[in-house]
Amino acid sequence: MDPAGLATAEASPRPAVVLPAFEGPLDLLLHLVRSKAMSIWDIPIAEICDQYHAALAAMDEPDLEVAGEYLVYAAWLTAIKSRSLLPRHEGERDPRSELVERLLEYHKVKAAATELASIEEVRRGMTAVRIDPALTPLAESGEELGDIDVARLAAALVDVLQRFRRDHPPHLDLPPLRFSVRAKILELYELIERQRSFPLLSHLLTRPDRLESVTLFVAGLELVRLQVSRVHQRLPFAEIYLTPTGVPLREEALGDV
Amino acid sequence: MSDVTHLEALCEAVLAVAGEPVAVEALVAVAGEGVTPALVAEALDRLAERCRAPGRGLVLERVAGGWRLATRPELEGAIRAFAGERARSRLSQAALETLAIVAYRQPVTLPEINFLRGVSSAAVVRTLLERRLVRVAGRKPVVGTPLLYRTTRAFLVHFGLDDLAGLPAPSEVGMEDAEEGVVGP
Amino acid sequence: MSDVTHLEALCEAVLAVAGEPVAVEALVAVAGEGVTPALVAEALDRLAERCRAPGRGLVLERVAGGWRLATRPELEGAIRAFAGERARSRLSQAALETLAIVAYRQPVTLPEINFLRGVSSAAVVRTLLERRLVRVAGRKPVVGTPLLYRTTRAFLVHFGLDDLAGLPAPSEVGMEDAEEGVVGP
């Protein structure tokens, strides 16, 4: 539906999510650090891993990729923790500083995203004016070359190739008929005459060759058309019985079938 | 702001994006509760009056089916100059498709391009040659020895590529790959 | 009619049919001989001033290096009702974060975006490409030569920016706040 999650709840028929939705492990970590006022230099790893677990459990459908992202972060945090417990050599960086930097960078990204959202809130109410010239209509003249990138080029190629395939469908291979309707009519006629009430559906379903089943079915319809046989079916999808009407089958009536 | 003033702004905005004549009833319907056709008519009168002021480039016209904003007829020359100018700096969908074929299938001939696109592309290829996005690169040694086309240095510069190997596969930019099963002529 | 008055009408008419920002140079080019950029700038000033009058439904704005006529944001409801649209969907949090990264760090690669966000962003980038808010701008000469992304002209229009320098400075978006609030002792 919306794999990239670009549309908002507004455009989606689903009810609002009760849990705060997190964009991922980094987002959840940032949220925990802020909401629980925990020191970024002393993040309780066990608690974070519990929270990650809770976030994964809250997902509607487990997604391996997303679960993997949380696992990578849990492993990374654990590694930082264990390294920070070891004595450090002189001049060696605090292993926690990379985490601090990442959280700060992500915080900046979120702040910028919030800023963009507030601009969008006002601007999405505006529509570009587009009126018709008085006399000559303005031809749709394509796009500014500067606005076209290789992604558009690739998309144009895909358009061309798809259209080409639509206009040049592969040839239909028609194999020669292996069963004749005429032969099957005679075969069915004999069976009906012999059994009086012949279960056509079971017979069709036990044919090893689908083409034979189809030919038999057509033969059954022919017998009904020639009023040689009646057809009964008590319920949809139930057995189809062919019974003789008493009218004999005359071979010359078969014509070209 | 008075009701009519607000209504005048509303009418101008709707007519400016409608792309077709708008009936008074349609304006009444979007104007909200308590707005009568008479009030809308008054607002349209004011809008028409204001458009007649010197320095305005738009006119409000009554046409079949309602009202529309259009450019002042005397300015048609400038509009046409603008349209022409813009067409020159733009690439049509046909040109984009042809450029894509040359880029991904080079060297390629005009008959091959025509075959893939299903329409004659001679004029489009000429435009691309003029825009210096494609160039002639010899002849194909087949019947008729048609010219072979390749993309230019300027093409690579425009798309920020070092070489043709940098062109992304459609799947790399999220397009389903349509390559399989398509053969040349 | 004075030169500037005529020019004002011409600018309004051209901008009204353009449907997108038009550069001053393009207006100078269609205005004919003897018209200077300064004269066009004066005409645009007057046009902007006139649009601010009560009862007008349009605004003249400077975006993406040009000038554009658009409907007033307050009239959104009427425009939407007329077009029969529901509220336009906002960009999602994931899209806004990704767009912010591309905007501030361009050119930037997908692995870099993934690293900064802590989650895979391939699908989001693809949708932003489709919406033409980002574009491919070559490849980064590192292992795997990942594609580089930049924001587009449509991005500038969407967010009402004249150019990238108009992006809010990082300090304006709460960096100090982050230092104090997030970083513990």
Give how far the C-alpha of residue A205 lies from the chain's centroid of Cα atoms, to the nearest Å: 33
Closest-CA residue of C relative to B89 is C26
Pairing relationship of beta strands B134-139 and C58-63 according to DSSP bridges? unpaired
Model confidence at A194: pLDDT above 80: yes
Rounded mean pLDDT, C35-42: 95
Minimal CA–CA distance to A153: which of C117, C116, C131, B93?
B93
pLDDT at residue A53 in the model? 83
Q: What is the mean pLDDT of residues B114-128?
A: 96
Facing residue for B5 by CB, picked from C14, C55, C145: C55
Give the neighbours of chain A: at least 3 Cβ pairs within 8 Å: B, C
| A144, A162, A163: residue with CB nearest B90 | A144
| Alpha helices (runs of H) in A15-149, residue ranges in sequence order | 25-35, 45-57, 64-85, 97-123
CA closest to B169 among chain C residues? C147
List chain C residues with CB under 8 Å of A128: 19-20, 68-70, 157
User: How far is the C-alpha of A186 from the C-alpha of C150, rounded, in Å?
Assistant: 74
- The share of chain A scoring above pLDDT 90, in percent, equals 23
pLDDT at B82: 92
Chain B environment of C26 (Cβ under 8 Å): 82, 85-86
CA–CA distance, C183 with C171 (Å, rounded to integer) = 16
Lowest mean pLDDT among A78-82, A214-218, B80-84: A78-82
Residue B2: the pLDDT is 65
Q: What is the pLDDT of residue B177?
A: 60
Q: Which residues of C touch B30 (CB under 8 A)?
A: 78, 81-82
- 3-class secondary structure for chain C? CCHHHHHHHHHHHHHHHHCCCECHHHHHHHHCCCCCHHHHHHHHHHHHHHHCCCCCCEEEEEECCEEEEEECHHHHHHHHHHHCCCCCCCCCHHHHHHHHHHHHHCCEEHHHHHHHHCCCCHHHHHHHHHCCCEEEEEECCCCCCCEEEEECHHHHHHCCCCCHHHCCCHHHHCHHHHHHHHCCC
C-alpha–C-alpha distance, residues A60 and C15, integer Å: 49
Residue A208 has a pLDDT of 84
Q: Is pLDDT at C184 greater than 60 in this prediction?
A: no
pLDDT of res. A8: 43
Region C165-179: what's the mean pLDDT?
Answer: 61
Query: Are C66 and B19 within 8 A, CB to CB?
Result: no
Lowest mean pLDDT among A89-98, A159-168, B166-175, C98-107: A89-98
Contact yes or no for A147 and C101 at CB 8 A = no
Q: How confident is the model at residue A18 (pLDDT cuts 50, 70, 90)?
A: very low
Model pLDDT, residue B3: 85
Probe site for chain B from C14, C27, C42 (most B CB atoms < 10 A) = C14
CB contact under 8 A, B85 and C26: yes
Find all residues with CB under 8 Å of A219, minimum gap 6, and list them: A181, A184, A185, A187, A188
Q: Which amino acid is at A129?
A: V
Least confident of A46-60, B48-62, B160-174, C119-133: A46-60
ipTM for the predicted complex comes to: 0.85
What is the average pLDDT across C89-105? Answer: 94
Asked if residue C52 has pLDDT above 50, the reply is: yes
Q: What percent of chain B has pLDDT over 90?
A: 81
Structure tokens at A10: 């507004």
Instruction: Return the pLDDT at B158.
Output: 94
**Neighbour subunits, B (≥3 Cβ pairs < 8 A):** A, C
What pLDDT, in 10s, does the model give residues A132-170? Answer: 877 767 666 788 898 999 999 999 999 999 999 999 888
CA distance C162 to C48: 16
* Arithmetic mean of pLDDT, C79-86: 86
DSSP state letter for A43: -
Q: Does B14 touch chain C (CB under 8 A)?
A: yes
Asked whether residue B150 carries a pLDDT value surpassing 90, the answer given is yes
> DSSP label at A161?
H
Q: Is the pLDDT of residue B9 over 70?
A: yes
Cα three-residue angle C113-C115-C117, rounded to 5 degrees: 70
**Tens of pLDDT along C148-158?**
999 999 999 99
Query: Hey, what are A117's tokens?
Result: 């959202």
Q: Which amino acid is present at A252?
A: E
DSSP string, B16-71: HHHSS-B-HHHHHHHH-TT--HHHHHHHHHHHHHHHTSTT--EEEEEETTEEEEEE
Looking at residue A171, the DSSP 8-state letter turns out to be P
pLDDT at C171 over 60: no
